[in-house]
Chains A and B, each alone.
Chain A
Amino acid sequence: EAGVAQSPRYKIIEKRQSVAFWCNPISGHATLYWYQQILGQGPKLLIQFQNNGVVDDSQLPKDRFSAERLKGVDSTLKIQPAKLEDSAVYLCASSNGQLSNEQYFGPGTRLTVT
């Protein structure tokens, strides 16, 4: 089966600019996650969707970050305006939502804010 797809793979922007990331999960996976991985740290969950509804966005900086999952399939994560500390790899993952089910990760988008 095709894996989780993400684009772009790399993005360089200046601070205060906007950026958007796209994720296409594995077909049939109801649950979609966005993680932020800062250099030297483990991934940190930003937001979790179940179909097109938000399950957990407690660690999403809502003043500048937003995410949506239209029609319960693809998802976009946006940062507006970006700050230097947003430089990180943004990972998308999906699962079929069953208990203790494995999460499948995409290749990530490496964002550099200058």
Chain B
Amino acid sequence: AQRVTQPEKLLSVFKGAPVELKCNYSYSGSPELFWYVQYSRQRLQLLLRHISRESIKGFTADLNKGETSFHLKKPFAQEEDSAMYYCVSSNFGNEKLTFGTGTRLTIIP
């Protein structure tokens, strides 16, 4: 079974400092990795997916198959980045998502 590990439940970072949210996954088949985010009083929504190799709201994430990691990074944190972040995996061709336990990111002004 797929498993996603997010070792930090809580992470506090000063505004303007770099952010890194850690994620490790168990390898099974052809993994697809995502980051979903939930801002306060909003719905859970997709932030980015590894196959797109895009930067969304300044965030990037690189899939490292050797380390089975998919860490989320941003060079300069902004207050609006405060939210709950979930690392999510699926197998290519299968829509079933497996969520990590989430990391609550708080940006300190």
Contact = CB atoms under 8 A, between A and B. Distances in A.
B93 A40 contact: no
Interface residues of B, number: 21
Contacts of A102: 46, 49
Contacts, number: 49
A101 B95 contact: yes
A48 interface: yes
Interface string A101-114: 11111111000000
Given A40-B101, A41-B101, A42-B101, A48 B46 contact: no
Given A40-B101, A42-B100, A42-B101, A105 B95 contact: no
B94 to A, nearest CB: 9
Interface residues of A, number: 26
B102 A42 contact: yes
B45 interface: yes
Contacts of A14: none
Interface string A76-106: 0000000000000001010101011111111
Interface of B: 4, 9, 32, 43-46, 49, 51, 86, 88, 92-93, 95-102
Interface of A: 3-4, 31, 40-45, 48, 55-56, 91, 93, 95, 97, 99-108
